[in-house]
Amino acid sequence: MAKTDLLTFLESNIDSLDFDGKIELFWNKRAKTFEMELTFYAENSTSQVITDAEGVSSDEPIISFSDSILFYDEKNVAQVEPEAYLACLSYAGKKGWTLARGKAFFSYLQIVLDNGRSDLLDFLNDGDKELFELTWSMSDFERFVHDATENTAIENLPYPKF
């Protein structure tokens, strides 16, 4: 049986998430990065004027919000711009990630998606809320990794060969 690589693992687990938005995965072979783009859609039933991070205003009936997670080779940390992403997660070169880290990622991502959906709806329905943004806590994520490590066989999800 062929070993599952990191790319295949990420692609196959996206579909298992309970999320009614859109999740896309992009692989930049040259930079040795993956970018997972998360897009939320919500009804703006009150035609509230929403201003995005770039200062563009809209009162469209359906609004979208996107953010991304970057996966990068830990040896290439200099190319990472953390402020541009929800989270920047390193992998160990050709070794990739451990299976435990991969499982923890999707468990924690589901919570981030659930909270994000709820927070977005609160933002749209509560005129007092001025800002909506997704929240990723590295300490919470690392707790998930720790818990998964105790309950998962030692196995790597290597960086894909191309």
In a domain, 162, yes or no: no
Mean pLDDT of 75-94: 92
**In-domain check, residue 59:** yes
Q: Any residues with CB less than 8 A from the CB of 105 and at least 6 apart, and which?
A: 89, 97, 141, 144
Which SS3 state, helix, strand or coil, does residue 19 take?
A: coil
> What's the chain's average pLDDT?
90
Q: What is the end-to-end Cα distance of the chain in Å, rounded?
A: 19
Q: What CATH number has the domain bearing residue 16?
A: 3.40.50.11250
What are 33-62's pLDDT values in tens digits? 999 999 999 887 777 777 777 777 777 888
- State how many domains the chain has: 1
74 in any annotated domain: yes
- pTM reported for the whole predicted model: 0.90
Q: Say whether pLDDT at 1 is over 70.
A: no
Whether residue 1 is contained in a domain is answered as no
Q: CA–CA distance from 39 to each of 1, 8, 24, 32, 159 (Å)?
A: 34, 21, 9, 23, 25
- For 108-146, the pLDDT digits (tens) are 999 999 999 999 988 888 777 778 889 999 999 999 999
Which structural domain, as residue segments, surrounds residue 103? 6-157
| Structural domain contains residue 109 | yes
Q: Is residue 141 part of a domain?
A: yes
